[in-house]
A and B are shown apart, each in its own frame.
Chain A
Amino acid sequence: MSLDIWMRENPLTYIWVGSYAVAFLIFAVEIAMVVHKRKITLQQVRLMREADQSEED
């Protein structure tokens, strides 16, 4: 009940915190995950390349 009153008294805060902040937080987490994945994948590929090179040597 108290949430109902609060959301009607503070509609813009409710919209910002509830939907836009959540959406942008989701985008931020997705960006962080994608960047992290790229770093890890690049590291793996570099390690494989180095291992191949040391085998050839």
Chain B
Amino acid sequence: MAINWFKYSAPTTFYPLAGKLIPWFAISSLILFAVGLYIGFVVAPADAQQGEFYRIIFIHVPSSIISMFLYLIMAAYAALGLIFNTRLSSMMASAIAPTGALFAFISLWTGALWGKPMWGAWWVWDARLTSELILLFLYLGFIALHASIDDPRRADRAAALLAIVGSVNVPIIYFSVKWWNTLHQGSTIKYSGTSMHIAMQQAMFTMLAACWLYAIAIALTRVRSIILERERNSKWITELAEVKS
């Protein structure tokens, strides 16, 4: 039986679906965080050069990857909202932005924590670090711009433009270590293979999956509040069980 996916682009059908999905994403995320931390701190060996300090990568790398991907997803939703005038797309973009900003902040923070013992400095104006900082500012700019305009539909359009223009920064972050001579190391995991210990890879990918599931769960929870807020005058909202109770 073919599923009509387009029907889930309407807030009326998406709202209950999101409500059903959130507990699954949240519980899976919690389990994967526990497994990832166990592998990362108990199973994975210490690094030959960096000792125990390398264990920051199990939160730093997933945060960095997710901060970049979330920005692209946010920009894609914002573009959909701008082009097709779909309400839910713009709401999704608004729901993703704070989580993306937090992941960008965690990436920068944990990077600084790693930089101090390894480089001898909390911060350097390196291309990778600077472009990630710009990403954080783009997220904050999106949130601030959206909040500064009272009419939500106008706010969606203005913030969408910023999100789309800002998405050019994501490939800059990714390729910065190749395009410029940076202090930040290049990719350890490549298509051609990796020199990482298998337990380190398992811990990193498990934490990456956990962070993804967390980001999805929190964005879905936030978008449900946004739907409630924006559609509060609709009849279907007043008929919801949680509103009636």
A residues lining the B interface (CB < 8 Å) = 4, 7-8, 11-12, 14-15, 18-20, 22-23, 26-27, 30-31, 34-35, 37-38, 41-42, 44-46, 48-49, 52
Contact = CB atoms under 8 A, between A and B. Distances in A.
25 contacts: A4-B116, A8-B117, A11-B117, A12-B52, A12-B55, A14-B117, A15-B56, A15-B113, A19-B56, A19-B60, A19-B109, A20-B59, A27-B214, A30-B99, A34-B218, A34-B222, A37-B222, A37-B225, A41-B225, A41-B229, A42-B242, A44-B232, A45-B237, A48-B233, A49-B238
Given A19-B59, A23-B109, 19 more contacts: A4-B117, A7-B116, A11-B53, A11-B117, A12-B52, A14-B117, A15-B52, A15-B113, A20-B59, A22-B109, A22-B110, A26-B105, A30-B218, A31-B218, A38-B221, A38-B225, A44-B232, A45-B238, A48-B232
B224 interface: yes
Chain A binding surface, main DSSP class: helix
Interface string B100-122: 00100110011001101100000
B83 interface: no
A5 B65 CA distance: 31
Given A15-B52, A15-B53, A34-B222, A7 B117 contact: yes
B193 interface: no
Nearest to B233: A48
The 7 lowest CB-CB distance pairs between A and B, nearest first, are A11-B52, A19-B110, A18-B113, A41-B228, A41-B225, A38-B225, A49-B238
Contacts of A22: 106, 109-110
B48 interface: no
B243 interface: yes
Interface string B211-231: 000100010011011001100
Given A15-B55, A45-B228, A23 B221 contact: no
B171 interface: no
B98 interface: yes
Contacts of A37: 222, 225
Contacts of B55: 12, 15
B47 to A, nearest CB: 11
Contacts of B228: 38, 41-42, 45
B243 A46 contact: yes
A16 to B, nearest CB: 8
Contacts of B114: 19
